[in-house]
Amino acid sequence: MLPLADVRIISVEQFGAGPWATLQLADLGAEVIKIEDPSSKGDVGRYVPPFQEGEDSLFFETFNRGKRSISLDLRHPDSRDVLHDLVRAVDAVYSNLRGDQPAKLGLTYEQLRHVNPRIVCCSLSGFGMTGPRAAEGGYDYMMQGLAGWMSLTGDPGGPPTKSGLSLVDLSGGYASAIAVLSGIWRARRDGVGCDCDVSLFETALHELMYIGPWAATHGFVPPRRENSAHPTIVPFQNFEAADGWFVVAAAKQKFWELLCHVIDRGDLAADPRFATMAGRNEHRDELVPVLAAIFRTRPVAEWLETLVGEGIPAARVNSVEEALEDPQTLAREDVVEHEHPTLGRVRSIRTPLRLSEGDERLERSPERGPFRGEHTEDVLAELCGYTTEHLGDLAERGVFGDIR
């Protein structure tokens, strides 16, 4: 049995960060039930191009495999009883909305504790549930700018630059998944639930890592470096070879000394300017051009064979296509596939969460993502005991909106 097979979560989620969080839980066995708003035709991720047809898209499929979907208009006056019946049957209510929205929709612990005192209510928002920006929307690109990431990224003299992936969304998803699991653990231990208030902005601030303390304590923010170089460790960056690019990561003194041996430049190791990490950082403008000239003389494959063979961390700079065909990717069967009625054969990336050889669901092909409202009647019958007549009455009153 998967680790979270006894965990059930309802999630008012859309787009990327929230669905990414609950995807991790679903991959570990949790039952994740998406509540999709019929007035907006469900999760906006269903309509993100390219590779989108009707209400199905590869974007949506990426974030929502293995989940169930119910259609429920939380603003409808008759939906509150349905929500409460669901809350009685689950461990957590998760949402990724503006910080002011959970309270407006009745999704906070204070509003639900009388229904289920053990319920955990987790909100992932742009800025949190308090503060002057609580009611503002927030997206990954904005957070990379606000938290200073863009000022650190890109070549010297270039414009502010975001990362190639939505790392704040992904990190916010992971952070909120940890928060909701911690809340569930405590609720099972102590019998009391809670609110979890996680924001993309604070996630991005937290991920300034050591740069945050450098700036907060000493006012020091490292400048941008050419070729994605580490701010203070040299050499730790991209280098151009005769036929492409690769990364050298001499993050320890022993790697520097091994590198000097491999390139037959004992004089560099003996040079007092380059003898220590601090010295190499101080004299990087003298050292890096020497190394760059050497690395341009041979192809990537030859350098990697030599460097890695000597125990020096180094790697090719792959395209996405090359990454998916990397020998390590293939050996660990990281690309999995499943069939979708609309999208056909879908190839996706397997979860990195591997806990034991016995976890069959972590090893086999994933289940497809749900159609909008696909499981409305089944979930409400199973969890809440609703009869066909009751479901029909709610449908007539418009609580479920339109279900395709």
CATH architecture of 8-207+331-396: 3-Layer(aba) Sandwich (3.40)
Q: 309 φ, ψ to 5°?
A: -60, -30
DSSP symbols for 40-86? GTS-GGGG-SSSEETTEEHHHHHHHTT-EEEE--TTSTTHHHHHHHH
* pLDDT of amino acid 366: 77
Written as six digits, the tokens of 257 are: 């000394």
How far apart (Å, rounded) are the C-alpha atoms in residues 331 and 309? 20
Tell me the percentage of the chain whose pLDDT exceeds 90: 94
Active site residue 140: no
Q: Tokens 């929500």 label which residue? A: 83
Length of the chain: 404
Please write the tens of the pLDDT for every residue from 247-257: 999 999 999 99
Tell me the HSE value of 217 on the side-chain side, using a 13 A CA sphere: 6
- Going by C-alpha positions, the residue among 215, 214, 218, 255 that lies closest to residue 233 is 255
pTM above 0.85, yes or no: yes
Q: Is the pLDDT of residue 404 over 70?
A: no
Nearest to 375 by CA among 24, 59, 69: 69
Q: List the structure tokens of 338.
A: 């499943």
Q: Which long-range contacts (CB under 8 A, 24 or more apart) does 260-265 make?
A: 261/310, 262/306, 262/307, 262/310, 262/312, 263/291, 263/294, 265/290, 265/294
Domain ranges of the chain: 8-207+331-396, 226-317
The pLDDT confidence band at residue 169, using thresholds 50, 70 and 90, is very high
- pLDDT of residue 364 exceeding 80, the answer is no
Q: Which of 27, 56, 91, 169 is catalytic?
A: 169
The reported pLDDT for the residue numbered 353 is 86
The tokens for 373 are 């409202």
pLDDT at residue 355 is higher than 90 = no
Long-range contact list for 257-265, CB < 8 A, 24+ apart? 258/310, 258/311, 258/312, 259/235, 259/307, 259/312, 261/310, 262/306, 262/307, 262/310, 262/312, 263/291, 263/294, 265/290, 265/294
For residue range 95-148, list pLDDT tens digits in order: 999 999 999 999 999 999 999 999 999 999 999 999 999 999 999 999 999 999
Q: Give 36-84 pLDDT, tens digit per residue.
A: 999 999 999 999 999 999 999 999 999 999 999 999 999 999 999 999 9
The superfamily in CATH containing domain 226-317 is formyl-coa transferase, domain 3 (3.30.1540.10)
CA nearest to 233, candidates 178, 282, 168: 282
Angle at 290 (CA atoms; ends 284, 296), nearest 5 degrees: 125
